[in-house]
Chains A and B, each alone.
Chain A
Amino acid sequence: MTAPLLNISDVVVDFPMKGFLTKPFRALKGVSLDIAPGETVGLVGESGSGKTTLGRAVLGLAPVTGGSIEFDGVDITHVSTRDRRALSRDIQVVFQDPYSSLNPAMTIGQILEEPLRVAGVGKAAARERIRELLAQVKLPEDSIDRLPRNFSGGQRQRIAIARALALRPRLIVCDEPVSALDLSTQARVLDLMIGIQEDTGVSYLFVSHDLSVVRHISHRVAVMYHGEIVEYGDCAQVTETPVHPYTRKLLMAAPVPNPTEQAARRHERERVLALDDAS
Chain B
Amino acid sequence: MSDPAVQTPTIPGSPRGGLFSRVIGDKMALTSIIVFVLVLLSALLAPLLTSWDPSRADLDDVLAPAFGEHILGADGSGRDVLARLLYGGRMSLLGAFIALAVALLVGIPTGLIAGYYQKWFDSISSWSANLIMSMPGLIIVLAVISIIGPRMLSVMAVFGILLSPGVFRLTRNGVQSVRKELYIDAAKVSGVGDISIIARHVLGVVKAPLVIQAAMMAGIAIVLQAGLEFLGVGDSSTTSWGQMLNEAFLNIYVAPLMLIWPGVMIGITVGALAIFGTALRDAVQGTQSLPRARKTGSQEVLPAAIEVVDGALRDRDRRGTLLSVEGLRVGYPRADGDTSIVVDGVDLHINRGEVHGVVGESGSGKSQTAFSIMGLLPTGGRVLSGKIEFDGTEFDAGSAKFLTSIRGNRIGYIPQEPMSNLDPTFTLGSQLVEPMRRHLSLSRAAAKTRALELLDRVGIADPRRTFDAYPHEVSGGMAQRVLIAGAVSCDPELLIADEPTTALDVTVQAEVLDLLRSLQQERSMGVMLVTHNFGVVADLCDRVTVMQNGRVVEHGTVGDIFDAPQHPYTQMLLDSTLEGTPPRAPLATEDAR
Q: Which chain A residues have a beta carbon within 8 Å of chain B's beta carbons?
A: 1-2, 36-40, 46-47, 59, 61, 84-89, 91-93, 95-97, 100-103, 105-106, 114-115, 118-119, 138-140, 143, 146, 149-155, 158, 160, 163, 166-167, 182-188, 190, 194, 201, 209-213, 215-220, 234-236, 239-240, 249-250, 252-259, 261-262, 266, 269
Contact = CB atoms under 8 A, between A and B. Distances in A.
A151 B5 CA distance: 9
A114 B579 contact: no
A146 to B, nearest CB: 7
Contacts of A85: 191, 193
Consensus secondary structure, chain B interface: loop
Contacts of A140: 5-6
A97 to B, nearest CB: 6
B440 interface: no
A101 B178 CA distance: 11
B192 interface: yes
Nearest to B14: A149
B468 interface: no
A39 B579 CA distance: 22
A79 to B, nearest CB: 12
Contact of A187 (B533, B576, B586, B589): B576
Given A47-B505, A186-B578, A216-B584, A153 B4 contact: no
A38 to B, nearest CB: 6
B453 interface: no
Interface of B: 1, 3-6, 8-11, 14, 181-183, 185-193, 196, 200-201, 204, 361-362, 505-507, 509-510, 513, 532-539, 558-559, 562, 572-574, 576-581, 583-587, 589, 591-593
Nearest to B360: A182
Contacts of A194: 584
B559 A115 contact: no
Given A250-B506, A255-B533, A235 B576 contact: no
Contact of B189 (A2, A91, A239, A252): A91
Given A150-B8, A184-B1, 8 more contacts: A46-B505, A87-B191, A91-B189, A155-B5, A184-B361, A187-B578, A257-B533, A257-B537
Given A1-B589, A118-B191, A153-B362, A239 B509 contact: no
A209 B362 contact: no
A102 B192 contact: no
A97 B361 CA distance: 17
B538 A257 contact: yes
A240 B593 CA distance: 28
B361 A152 contact: no
29 contacts: A38-B587, A39-B592, A40-B584, A61-B188, A86-B191, A88-B190, A92-B189, A101-B186, A103-B200, A103-B201, A118-B191, A118-B192, A140-B5, A155-B4, A186-B576, A186-B578, A187-B576, A210-B506, A211-B506, A212-B577, A216-B584, A219-B584, A219-B585, A219-B587, A235-B584, A235-B585, A253-B510, A254-B510, A259-B558
B579 A257 contact: yes
Contacts of A183: 361, 532, 534, 573, 576-577
Contacts of A59: 185, 189
A175 to B, nearest CB: 9
B586 A235 contact: yes
Contact of A258 (B5, B181, B189, B538): B538
- The interface centre, meaning the residue of B3, B191, B572 with most chain A CB atoms within 10 A of its CB, is B191
Contacts of B190: 88, 92, 114-115, 118, 163, 166-167
Given A47-B505, A149-B11, A240-B583, A114 B192 contact: yes
A46 B507 contact: yes
Contacts of A38: 587, 591-593
B574 A182 contact: no
B576 A36 contact: no
B538 A115 contact: no
- The interface centre, meaning the residue of B182, B536, B537 with most chain A CB atoms within 10 A of its CB, is B182
A53 to B, nearest CB: 13
Contacts of B14: 149
A212 B581 contact: yes
A88 B534 CA distance: 39
Given A215-B583, A255-B536, A269 B506 contact: no
Nearest 5 A/B pairs, CB to CB: A255-B535, A88-B191, A257-B534, A115-B190, A101-B182
Contacts of B192: 114-115, 118
Nearest to B535: A255
Contacts of B8: 143, 146, 150-152, 155
A257 B536 CA distance: 7
A97 B182 CA distance: 8
Nearest to A119: B191
Nearest to B361: A182
A149 B14 CA distance: 9
B191 A253 contact: no
A96 B562 CA distance: 30
A158 B8 CA distance: 13
A163 B362 contact: no
A254 B593 CA distance: 36
Contact of B538 (A97, A218, A255): A255
A62 to B, nearest CB: 11
B540 to A, nearest CB: 8
A121 B534 CA distance: 46
A106 B219 CA distance: 33
A256 B189 CA distance: 37
Contacts of B1: 184
Contacts of A235: 583-586
A139 B506 CA distance: 33
Contact of B204 (A105, A115, A160, A190): A105
A220 B585 CA distance: 8
A249 B508 CA distance: 11
A5 to B, nearest CB: 9
A236 B585 contact: yes
B507 A39 contact: no
Contacts of A146: 8
Given A37-B592, A236-B583, A61 B185 contact: yes
Nearest to B8: A150
- The interface centre, meaning the residue of A149, A184, A250 with most chain B CB atoms within 10 A of its CB, is A184
A262 B593 contact: no
Contacts of B592: 2, 36-39
Nearest to B539: A255
Contacts of B585: 219, 235-236
Contacts of A219: 584-587
Contact of B579 (A61, A88, A95, A212): A212
Nearest to A105: B204
Contact of A215 (B11, B181, B584): B584
A89 B534 CA distance: 40
Contact of B584 (A138, A151, A217): A217
- The interface centre, meaning the residue of B181, B574, B587 with most chain A CB atoms within 10 A of its CB, is B587
Contacts of A250: 506-507
Contacts of A1: 589
B553 to A, nearest CB: 14
Contact of B578 (A160, A215, A269): A215
A240 to B, nearest CB: 7
B532 A182 contact: yes
Contacts of B362: 153, 182
